[in-house]
Structure 1
């Protein structure tokens, strides 16, 4: 053990004594490793930013059910249990899911503002579009999209008058009710004109248009609608972007026609694949060059110190401690080179993120190196350095004690 410790101490002292050569080897490693760290940071940052943008837009997680079907409560219960499904709520026929909204109907000098045929979307707790925002819990509470709120000139807390028109024979009728704007969604959450309503209001509008009475809202009809057992469609959202395609495939296999934003998701995956391939090729070339360069340098270093190493063999050092001499220096080069590379990467990444910040949203970065990736890079650098030292170690193991005696 004492000889091992002595070999390591000598390796360190030799590394420090020949600091110019050591610095060249460290800078050579940093010159190879820094671009790789920056490239991987760009890959991680770009892909992570694009993925976060996809997740920030709930429409990328939506699986749109096309057409009208007959979906019973068992179907909705099965979807709610599906690990691929984040949110599901029944929908009525699209032709029956519209409502006329009127703002300023109670008088005042602002005038009446009418928005006819606004799309009604059912909502409930857990709706990803309303994430972090109040959800209507009463039939007279609604959430407007920003586009609809601008057309009506209303804000959260304002009242609205609503009408659900229907044609009965030659007679036109309308079910009237008052609503309260619970919240207004930003354009990023919902770009088109829409109103989010409780499912009870959506089914009441469909029943009224089908000629039934809705006693709870005071809407007339020949009789009340029978208990509802099926729905025409559904609002359906996957748990994540990786779940969109499997969920859509499962629904398609069940005979349902669906539409997703799979093209946008595939673009991000394609970028990830291309950047991963480029990084692998460049990293392989760089790592190969570094290993060959370091191996040649350590071989030359051992060759220059043949007499000194032979003297160590003469005083009793075995082969193993001598092989540890270049291996220890390789580890020192790796650690110093990794530290220099990390410092250079931090400076370059900060500069890139600062220069490109105008094109990024708050909290987004274009260059990001996750901690696990940084630790993996350090470990790989150490492993490759030790492997590179094998050539120098082989050369050291071939040195005979007699070589130092020839110089006497």
Structure 2
């Protein structure tokens, strides 16, 4: 009951010294508001950079270098790893090209029928991070085009294409054609070159045909003898599950003497920037909070000296040392709460202005704080205020009741 009553007495006394209380609040706001803005910028920028990296599949791509050879079983084992989001074999690059033109049955304009574009063929399958999930898996004889290739051919989704594959047999050129349906068109953000995304079966058929073999699936003539050995692939398309997995996979391949190209350096730079900004923030925050703590401690001691007679009268009335300490602490907590509320308001205005000024992509933030950050700021402010007032409270606890009678 004494502590509850003391909180009310502390509040009334706090209101009575409104000017001094307001000065204490503004002094605290001068420290808290810049710290909140600084941390909001640090968190918002790093979060936006990290989210941008996570949204870009190219950052998570692992590209093998050199003349490696992979069996279908090895690539299947890679695809089954928990840190791999997608993996599919790639055929030889020289065999993975096609001459595309408008098929006669296409609904595209006839003037576009004479256009022809050489594109690289890229294998795709369910789970491909470059392709919207609703477009996969592809139906038979259906492909996806990059936006550049579609623009050069003048086709749209649903049109038909004629794909030509050439080879040399005894110095004589031969060609086979197959009709493909455009199932979808990938935007420039997904793939910027002239390309055709197709099931692995089409790429293997083109490779077999160019190796002189017959391809019964498409009715292409050639040597009817099957491959003497199991098919091997010179490369693969592989994407890590997340940013952390990129470095894990790089070390995995390095341990097997396989050189790969990754974006591990770009990811490491963002993480290094985050660590460096954290160090800078905590140095500034430590200095600012240290100064604020010293100022609040001095303010509490000064308040006790200024109200020494009133506190001694309270002691004379029977309030305990704990109650006197609570009196000083309560007033410090009032300062902390009002200072933090005002600092939150100023931060909110700064956040809106900074995001409007620096926002480049919808959904990204230059300055941002989460609810957990607000709660952490509240806890830290109240704790710092209470500890700063403890010295003044200890001084108040030393006041004797007799001191209140000397001035009577």
Same fold, judged at TM 0.5 (above): yes
Alignment-derived partner of residue 285 in structure 2: 283
| Cα displacement (A) at 1:88 | 0.8
Alignment-derived partner of residue 239 in structure 1: 241
**Alignment TM-score, normalising by the size of structure 2:** 0.95
1:201 aligns with 2:185: no
Aligned 8 A contact 1:207 1:225 in 2: no
Per mean C-alpha deviation after superposition, the further-off stretch among 35-44 and 107-116 is: 107-116
| Cα displacement (A) at 1:168 | 1.8
Q: How does 1:48-127 map to 2 (within 5 A)?
A: 48-103=47-102, 108-116=110-118, 118-127=119-128
Aligned 8 A contact 1:139 1:197 in 2: no
- How many residues matched? 404
Equivalent position to 1:271, from 264, 270, 273: 273
Alignment-derived partner of residue 29 in structure 1: 28
Q: Secondary structure at the match of 1:303?
A: helix
Alignment-derived partner of residue 384 in structure 2: 384
**Alignment TM-score, normalising by the size of structure 1:** 0.95
Structure 2's unaligned 5+ residue stretches are none
CA distance in 2, matches of 1:305, 1:17: 12
| Residues 228-274 of structure 1 deviation map (CA, whole Å, 9 limit, x = unaligned) | 55332211001111211111111121121100122322332232122
Per mean C-alpha deviation after superposition, the further-off stretch among 61-70 and 206-215 is: 61-70
| Cα displacement (A) at 1:280 | 0.9
| Residues 147-173 of structure 1 deviation map (CA, whole Å, 9 limit, x = unaligned) | 111221211111111011111221211
Q: Secondary structure at the match of 2:173?
A: strand
CA distance in 1, matches of 2:4, 2:310: 17
Aligned 8 A contact 1:104 1:113 in 2: no
Per mean C-alpha deviation after superposition, the further-off stretch among 66-75 and 8-17 is: 66-75
Runs of 4+ in 1 over 3 A off after TM superposition: 104-107, 224-230
CA distance in 2, matches of 1:368, 1:140: 48
| Cα displacement (A) at 1:313 | 1.3
| Cα displacement (A) at 1:24 | 1.2
CA distance in 2, matches of 1:132, 1:77: 20
| Cα displacement (A) at 1:73 | 3.4
Alignment-derived partner of residue 305 in structure 2: 303
Aligned 8 A contact 1:215 1:224 in 2: no
Alignment-derived partner of residue 178 in structure 1: 179
Q: Secondary structure at the match of 1:316?
A: coil
CA distance in 2, matches of 1:158, 1:15: 78
| Residues 250-308 of structure 1 deviation map (CA, whole Å, 9 limit, x = unaligned) | 11211211001223223322321222122111111111111111111111111111111
1:187 aligns with 2:188: yes
